[in-house]
Chains A and B, each alone.
Chain A
Amino acid sequence: MRGFAVAILLAAVGMPSAQALAQEFNLVIRNHKFEPQELRVPAGKRVSIYVANEDVTPEEFESATLKVEKIIPGKSKGLVRIGPLAPGRYEFIGEFHADTAKGVIIAE
């Protein structure tokens, strides 16, 4: 539990410097679809993806392979931090509209 407390403390005083090194990417949710549907990111690095939800409805960015579950309310932006990734394809969905909101991240 001590590690947990330290972690919260770290969060409170600001993110560790590793954050500054993360490369940034953008995704847009529009009409329950991701744009672009395919995103290429560098393998072996921390990556920050800003997901802008332009719909009025909330969406949950979810990927089992990336181990991410993130709610992004309507008309707002969410930050998804992933990596370092091994090279490969990582599929993600918008869980609330899984039939249309699909995409893939390619780490290379």
Chain B
Amino acid sequence: MFGALIIVFREVIEAGLIIGIVLAATRGISGRGHWVAAGVLLGTLGAGIVALFAEAIANAFEGSGQELLNASVLGAAVVMLMWHTVWMARHGREMAAEMAAVGAAVSAGKRPMTALVVVVGLAVLREGSEVVLFLYGIFAGGASGSSLFIGGVLGLAVGAAFTALTYYGLVSIPPRHIFTATTVLIALLAAGMAAQAVQYLDAAGVINVLSRQLWDSSPWLPQDGIIGHVLHTLIGYTDRPTELQLIAYLATLTAMAALAWLAAPTRARRVPA
């Protein structure tokens, strides 16, 4: 049972962190709970569909379908996070001013939640399909499954608790810093996703350049441990990165910073955050 709990928990950490960050980044927007719930629901539905067609997906594109799907999902999430960053850079300041003046409710309905909902949905889809397959496997495995299944469900529960922990950790940041904090977190999140995406493209055999390993920090901070895994999601920590992964990571961070700077209204640029 404990083994099943750990497997499921490990799979849901990533989606859990992302949901926690999105919830923190959208604090003060009325109805955001419904939006995020919709993202989770759509993602779960998508995960079921992906799991159902796992074999067909795996066999597509000369056996690289799964890797290409993962790379596409990650790529789409990166684009959504960029869109959100641009929007926030353009409107965030006026929104913050309004919130200070007449309370949080004013910003309700003005801000496009779509990008972040898609990010939540994609995260749940990607991680969720593995959980669905794992739990299905327990059923297909036969009689001894029930305690494993309980372990799996408990793993989901621990994952949800972890989401809450992320959220309350973030919202305990003083309000004047939370905007900067979530913007930086979202940029790092996107950079980590881009680095993961290029590794999937390498595994798919699409890109086979710059695949030399740069360092190996797995003895000190293994990526498959809990701390390494959390850092992997949060800031894109990789214990054995390839050259291409580092390039993708840095390029995404640079692009995020450049987009935020370009999108900011000129009068705002002179005022430091």
Interface residues of A (CB under 8 A from B): 1, 3-4, 7-8, 10-12, 14-16, 18-19, 22, 46, 56-60, 64-65, 67-68, 70-74, 76-82, 84, 95-96, 98-99
Contact = CB atoms under 8 A, between A and B. Distances in A.
Contact of B140 (A11, A56, A60, A68): A56
24 contacts: A3-B207, A4-B75, A4-B201, A7-B71, A7-B206, A11-B64, A15-B61, A15-B62, A16-B205, A16-B208, A19-B62, A57-B137, A58-B133, A58-B137, A64-B223, A68-B203, A70-B58, A71-B54, A71-B129, A73-B133, A78-B58, A82-B203, A96-B7, A98-B3
Interface string B1-24: 001000100000000000000000
A16 B206 contact: yes
A22 B205 CA distance: 10
A64 B218 contact: yes
B91 interface: no
Interface SS, B side:
helix
A11 B239 contact: no
Given A18-B208, A71-B66, A11 B137 contact: no
A72 B137 CA distance: 11
B134 A96 contact: yes
A65 B47 CA distance: 27
Interface of B: 3, 7, 54-55, 58-59, 61-64, 66-68, 71-72, 75, 78-79, 129-130, 133-134, 136-138, 140-141, 197, 199, 201-208, 211, 218, 222-224, 239-240, 242
